[in-house]
Amino acid sequence: MIVKTKICLLIICCISSLTYSQEPLSSTQKTHKSIGDVLLFTMPTLALGSTAIWKDEQKGGMQFSKALAGTLAVTYGLKFIIDKERPNRENNNSFPSGHTSVAFMSAAFVHKRYGWKYGLPAYVLASYVGYTRIESKKHDGWDVVAGAAIGIGMSYIFTKRYDSKFKVTSGYMNDTPTLGFRYDF
C-alpha cells in the first residue's frame, strides 16, 4: 500500500512538472524580455516627466494619473475575470498584457498631449514592448492587441491636448493661402 502511494505521488509530480514546465528562453529572448521590463517603468516615467519638461500647468500630471489608474484597473480586472493561461504555462494571468497596456497608455498620453512628433517614437517603443511579451512567451498576439487597445483607450478618455502659448495658424484670406504665428501671453 505504501509503495503504491509513493508511485502515485511520483507520477503526479512528474505530470505536474510536465504540465507547468517552461521552455528556457534563448539569450536573445532574455535580452528582449529584459528590455521590455525596463521599458515598463521607463515609458510612464518619461510620459509623466514630460509634463515637467513642458512646464505643463494644465493638469497634465492629473490626466496621466487618471489614465494610468484606469489602465491598471481594467487590465488587472480582466486578468482576474478571464483567467487565461500564458503561452509558457507559468500562470493564468495572460489576458490582457499589462506591460503592453501601460506602454501604450504612456505613448498615447504623449501623442495626444504633445502631438505626433513625440508620440510616434513613443508608439514605436510601446510596440517593441508588445513584441518582447510575445517573444518571451508571456503573451500571444491577442493579449498584446488587447493591452494596446486598453492603454490607448484610457489615454484618449482622460488626456486633453496641451495648449502651447506658441501657435502656428493657417487659412485663406481673399483666396490666398496664409500662414501665421501667434504667441499668447
Contacts of 136 (CB under 8 A, 6+ apart): 25, 29, 30, 32, 33, 36, 88
Q: Which three cell numbers stand for residue 91?
A: 500562470
Yes or no: say if 151 and 105 are a contact pair by the CB < 8 Å rule: yes
What's this model's pTM, rounded to 2 decimal places? 0.76
pLDDT tens digits, 64-90: 999 999 999 999 999 999 999 999 888
Taking only the tens place, the pLDDT of each residue in 148-183 is: 999 999 999 999 887 655 555 666 777 777 666 555
